[in-house]
Amino acid sequence: MITVEKLVKSFHSGESELVVLKGMSFTVPEGQFLSVTGRSGSGKSTLLYQLGLLDNPNSGSIIIDNTKVLDLTTREKTQFRLERLGYVFQDYALLPELSSLENVMLPLLMMGGNKSQARAKAQAALSKVGLGDKLINLPSQLSGGQQQRVSIARAIGHNPKIIFADEPTANLDSETAEAVIKTFLELHKEGQTIIMVTHEEEYSRCTDRVITLSDGEIISDIMQVKT
Amino acid sequence: MSLKKRIHQFFISLRLGFFLALRQIRRSSKWTTILIIFVMTLTFLNLVVVSGILVGLIEGSVVAVKSRYLSDVIVSTLQEKTYIENSPYVVAVAKSLPWTEAVSARYLEGGTIEANYKTRVKETDLIDNVGIIVAGINPTDEDAVTGIKDLIVEGSYLTATDYDQVLLGHNLLRKYLPIESPGFSTLQDVEVGDKVRLIINGNTREVIVKGILKSKVDEISRRVFMTDTQLRSLIGRSDYNVDEISILLKPGSDPVVARDAMLASGIGAYAKVQTFEEGLPKFLIDIKNTFALLGNMVSSIGLVVASITIFIVIFINAITRRKFIGILKGIGIHSTAIEFAYVLQSLFYAIMGTFLGAIILFGFLKPYIASNPIDFPFSDGILVATLSGTLVRVLILFIATLIAGYIPAKIVVRQNTLDAILGR
């Protein structure tokens, strides 16, 4: 599903260059729930942004679903993100003036579906994450956990190939965080490919595989056997 | 990407832009929205009213000259003649036209009017006199064409049997025109009922001031009016040939058609036949064009101010929502859709501002100024705001608003997606 080869990303700060990803290579098969962990500054979020086509690496290649995504134009990348990728951000990233339903409908409308189809799919996605009764609520009327679940519903509403989640539990209390992880596990059970960045070990233990980064390099890549 | 797909994508973006714009407007601060719409309303009024008033100053004068003097068609003497030859025939033709409502024929003669001839004791005392044009009118016909009776501010109007009675234009009297100028003389202390001396063609008549007419049309305010029968006898015009004929047409009639019909009857051999527009003094047309130009210049400044206002509003709106714009791009929403959302918001402000402005303009300002004209020394200023002229200005305002909304949206949308999301 995803093949990453010799991925390098560096940032310039004045005359000095900070290499954040140092020639990383790995593959992610379809349906895998992968967690990327590591200390703060290890490069895990930067890796996610490269894989999610939100940023451009300096060198290397990324192949997603048989597409060399780094060769795509900006417009094509936007369309690729829309059709095949889903995002869950740490701070939920919901539009404050849109209701839960409208937030989830956005990518569906952009994909060209009519309003009633988009509404039905968004409603189904919200029901799936347990928010079928919060359709008309604005983000400000929801708790942090509920907002994150709306964010997940938005990520899955258009049936993407891969979901990228950047520290999805970081802003949540443990009970709510567990509910969010449970939602991811249910999606994974249905065959969804998920790549989640987290620094919380207990949640990474729930995933199929854990890649641990340190100073921009993979220091461990462990397949986990679920009991 | 194929053209068909691009067009399809364009409409999807447009729809999503509308979806976003509608919700942003609906859930934004009501006071901010009201304030922006208020600014747009003022801009619209500035665009239409300022130039409308400037043009209206002159238009008021034009309307007055037309309704109180020239009427729809004016027949005057040929350049080389002293009066309209064969006038009875000309009047008969004018009256026979199917479009004619009323006709007034006027005798005109230069003369002098003198006021203090009874109180002046020495030969060296200054003579209180004014050079004038005396108009001999049929009171009924003249009132039917120009409604001159309504202009009486003191005394009463003439009747057909009045003899040695005159009406004075108010600008002949010092109490109405208190200007001390050697080139602009007026009569002092003349009231209704006073006797004045009229000197025409060497003939002197003592006449009584029956009434005073007040108008901003010089051809009324600086003239003396008496009955046509008396003036005819004073100037010895026994052939009934007159100097001016004003023709009022029935509502909806075309003055050009009436003029052409008159000329087709051979009137051109005896007189100059003009529509009121052709008969207008050239300086009035020149001033009208100059004021229209000034109005457009002032409006243009207003338009620039409005564009900058919209630019700032949209720019601040977009900048403060930079993170959300980044998120939208991040989840795959096309830049075009986001730009549309801001452009449509700008358009909403422009439409609402224009709508409210139009209600104020056509529902209140225009009818109010029409019934209470602005009192300028040379005209009763009206507000000229034609539907076509207003629509052109609305279109210009919309285009300026679209550009002013699009540019800041484009600036913010083109920023790096990840930087926008992370607030860098």
pLDDT tens digit string along B2-22? 788 888 888 999 999 999 999
Residue B209 vs residue B54, higher pLDDT? B209
| pLDDT band of B1, cuts 50, 70, 90 | low
Kindly report, residue by residue over B128-170, the tens digit of the pLDDT.
889 999 999 999 999 999 999 999 999 999 999 999 999 999 9
Residue A64 vs residue B421, higher pLDDT? A64
Question: Looking at CA atoms only, how far is residue A224 from chain B in angstroms?
Answer: 30
Residue B42: is its pLDDT beyond 60?
yes
pLDDT for residue B117:
80
User: Across the interface, do A93 and B27 touch by the CB < 8 Å criterion?
Assistant: no
pLDDT for residue B6:
84
- Minimal Cα distance from A79: which residue of B? B332
What integer is the mean pLDDT of B316-321? 81
Least confident of A31-40, B324-333, B355-364, B406-415: B406-415
Pick B330's closest partner by Cβ from A54, A79, A98: A54
pLDDT for residue B9:
86
Q: Does B8 lie at the interface with A, CB-CB under 8 angstroms?
A: yes
pLDDT for residue B111:
93
Q: Does A191 lie at the interface with B, CB-CB under 8 angstroms?
A: no
User: Across the interface, do A49 and B418 touch by the CB < 8 Å criterion?
Assistant: yes
Q: Does A112 lie at the interface with B, CB-CB under 8 angstroms?
A: yes
**Chain B neighbors of A82, CB-CB under 8 A:** 331-333
**Strand B129-137, strand B223-227: pairing:** parallel
Pick B24's closest partner by Cβ from A81, A97, A154: A97
pLDDT for residue A141:
94
Kindly report, residue by residue over B113-126, the tens digit of the pLDDT.
998 787 777 777 77
| pLDDT band of B289, cuts 50, 70, 90 | confident
**Chain B neighbors of A75, CB-CB under 8 A:** 1, 334
Q: A-B interface: how many C-beta pairs under 8 angstroms?
A: 70
User: Across the interface, do B16 and A106 touch by the CB < 8 Å criterion?
Assistant: yes
Mean pLDDT of chain B: 89
What integer is the mean pLDDT of B203-219? 92
Q: Does B24 lie at the interface with A, CB-CB under 8 angstroms?
A: yes
Share of chain B above pLDDT 90, in %: 48
A interface test, pick of B12, B324, B331 with most A CB neighbours within 10 Å: B331
In tens digits, what is the pLDDT along chain A, a chain of 227 residues? 899 999 999 988 778 888 999 999 999 999 999 999 999 889 999 999 999 999 999 999 999 999 999 999 988 999 999 999 999 988 888 999 899 999 999 999 999 888 999 999 999 999 988 889 999 999 999 998 899 899 999 998 988 999 999 998 888 888 888 888 998 899 899 999 999 999 888 899 899 999 999 999 999 999 887 65
pLDDT for residue B93:
94
pLDDT for residue B149:
95
Residue B222: is its pLDDT beyond 80?
yes
Question: Looking at CA atoms only, how far is residue B11 from chain A in angstroms?
Answer: 9
**Chain A neighbors of B327, CB-CB under 8 A:** 89, 93, 95
What integer is the mean pLDDT of B250-258? 94
Residue B370: is its pLDDT beyond 80?
yes
pLDDT for residue B199:
92
Q: Does B15 lie at the interface with A, CB-CB under 8 angstroms?
A: yes
**Chain A neighbors of B24, CB-CB under 8 A:** 97
Kindly report, residue by residue over B92-110, the tens digit of the pLDDT.
999 999 999 999 999 999 9
Question: Looking at CA atoms only, how far is residue B26 from chain A in angstroms?
Answer: 8
Pick B418's closest partner by Cβ from A55, A86, A102: A55
User: Across the interface, do A112 and B19 touch by the CB < 8 Å criterion?
Assistant: no
Q: Does A166 lie at the interface with B, CB-CB under 8 angstroms?
A: no
Q: Which of residues 33-62 of A touch B (CB under 8 A)?
A: 49, 52, 54-55
pLDDT for residue A227:
54
**Chain B neighbors of A95, CB-CB under 8 A:** 324, 327-328
Question: Looking at CA atoms only, how far is residue A36 from chain B in angstroms?
Answer: 19
pLDDT for residue A226:
62
Residue B376: is its pLDDT beyond 70?
yes
Residue B184: is its pLDDT beyond 90?
no
User: Across the interface, do A154 and B327 touch by the CB < 8 Å criterion?
Assistant: no
Q: Does A106 lie at the interface with B, CB-CB under 8 angstroms?
A: yes
